[in-house]
Amino acid sequence: MSILQNKNRRILLGTDWWTDCDDVAALRMMCRMAKRGVWTPDGVILNAAAPYAAASLLAILRDEGFGDVPVGIDIAADDFGGRPPYQYAVAKKAGAVAADTTPGTLGTPGTPGRPIPENAALVNGVTLYRQMLACAADGSMELLEIGYLQVLAALLSSPPDECSPLDGIALVKTKVRRIWCMAGNWQEGGHGKENNFCRNARARRAAHAVLRDCPVPVTFLGWEVGATVIAHPKEDPDDLVRIAFEAHGSPDGRSAWDPLLVLLAAHDVSGIHDAGFRAVSGRASVDAETGENFFEVKPGGSHAYVIKTMPDAWYEKQVDAWL
Ligand SMILES: [Ca+2]
């Protein structure tokens, strides 16, 4: 495994942190890669607002030594459906929930000096993107996205403000080198349906707009890549990732969609073959009504989706080594 080490790489991670636990494993990988000099995380943006999302995400960041990384949120995005299963358990284990708090309530501050970070206390996600991009050197930032796309869509349509005189499209075009995105299902000639594009009307409209308007290259890793690759939490019962996986009902492991996106991005475009992938270039689109994705193959196109070149066990070994 060769991963480029380049602290000049700056990244912002978008995550839904909602019903699936693979985001938790992916966040740990992102942090541990940063510790190894792969990149520097400048922020994490929650594009869904589960109860205890902020508390549990901050718990993982602190556990990995990245408690100072700024975190933003789309506070309105609490309607993706289902029951986010692990946030309370992770926050509670980390001491971010008072012992007498019942699930579903925020409770009172727990450990002194480590107040419960409430979702509402976080900065707006678009504002955080704009602040961090405004400070970044031209062409230096990479965006990793392992959730829904409405915050990126809102960033692209954002007007000039006190952060930057550039509108959203110009700001992204100037500052962002590439977007790495876990989304879509590309196995039938680039056509399919997948949760991150399809979950609800907000997700579908946003995916349509981002793929239509995004002015920088996007590399997609689809459902079909991660479904049969399993990420395994370590055996330690006190481990926060294990606690998330168990609360999700996946004590023996979970499909590694989001961890594989982090692994792919860590290798960068120049290392894509070392990461166990080949890319198909062209132009992707999403139907705003159905969320179905489509792909027109075109050499040199600004979009690409990746195809595995190795057996699943090979990727599992790579992912588990970071967990
Ligand atoms: Ca996710």
Conformation bin of residue 300: beta by default, left when phi > 0, alpha when psi is -120 to 50:
left
* Predicted pLDDT at 98: 58
Report how far ligand 1's centroid is from the alpha carbon of 300 (Å): 28
d(C-alpha 146, C-alpha 250), whole Å: 19
DSSP 64-132: TT-TTS-EEE-TT---S-S---SHHHHHHHTT-S-TTPPTTS--S--STTS----GGGSEEHHHHHHHH
Domain extent listing, the chain:
10-42+122-233+250-322
% the chain with pLDDT above 90: 89
Report how far ligand 1's centroid is from the alpha carbon of 120 (Å): 21
Stretch 183-187: mean pLDDT:
98
d(C-alpha 43, C-alpha 40), whole Å: 9
* Predicted pLDDT at 117: 74
Q: Per residue in 257-305, pLDDT tens?
A: 999 999 999 999 999 999 999 999 999 999 999 999 999 999 999 999 9
Computed from CA positions of residues 30, 36, 40, 42, in that sequence, does the dihedral angle turn out positive or negative? positive
Report how far ligand 1's centroid is from the alpha carbon of 42 (Å): 19
Report how far ligand 1's centroid is from the alpha carbon of 121 (Å): 22
Report how far ligand 1's centroid is from the alpha carbon of 15 (Å): 6
* Predicted pLDDT at 5: 67
For the chain, the straight-line distance linking the first and the last C-alpha, in angstroms and rounded, comes to 15
Confidence of residue 2 (pLDDT cuts 50, 70, 90): low
d(C-alpha 144, C-alpha 146), whole Å: 7
Confidence of residue 6 (pLDDT cuts 50, 70, 90): low
Report how far ligand 1's centroid is from the alpha carbon of 228 (Å): 16
Report how far ligand 1's centroid is from the alpha carbon of 226 (Å): 12
Report how far ligand 1's centroid is from the alpha carbon of 162 (Å): 31
Task: Using DSSP, state whether 209 is helix, strand or coil.
Answer: helix
77-81, 112-116, 156-160, 163-167: range with lowest mean pLDDT: 112-116
Report how far ligand 1's centroid is from the alpha carbon of 274 (Å): 24
Both tokens of 48, joined, read 């869904």
* Predicted pLDDT at 94: 85
Stretch 199-220: mean pLDDT:
98
Report how far ligand 1's centroid is from the alpha carbon of 145 (Å): 8
Alpha helices in the chain (DSSP H): 22-35, 53-63, 87-93, 125-135, 150-156, 168-175, 195-198, 201-213, 223-226, 240-248, 257-267, 312-322
Tell me the CB-side half-sphere exposure of residue 119, using CA atoms within 13 A: 19
Q: Per residue in 237-257, pLDDT tens?
A: 999 999 999 999 999 999 999
Both tokens of 41, joined, read 């995380």
Report how far ligand 1's centroid is from the alpha carbon of 183 (Å): 9
Q: Evaluate whether 158 touches 128 at the Cβ level (below 8 Å).
A: no
Stretch 41-62: mean pLDDT:
95
Q: Per residue in 132-163, pLDDT tens?
A: 999 999 999 999 999 999 999 999 999 999 99
Computed from CA positions of residues 265, 192, 227, 125, in that sequence, does the dihedral angle turn out positive or negative? positive
Stretch 77-97: mean pLDDT:
90
Report how far ligand 1's centroid is from the alpha carbon of 19 (Å): 8
Report how far ligand 1's centroid is from the alpha carbon of 112 (Å): 31
Report how far ligand 1's centroid is from the alpha carbon of 26 (Å): 9
Q: Evaluate whether 16 touches 23 at the Cβ level (below 8 Å).
A: yes
d(C-alpha 293, C-alpha 116), whole Å: 39
Confidence of residue 216 (pLDDT cuts 50, 70, 90): very high
% the chain with pLDDT above 70: 92
CATH entry 3.90.245.10 includes domain 10-42+122-233+250-322: yes
Report how far ligand 1's centroid is from the alpha carbon of 169 (Å): 24
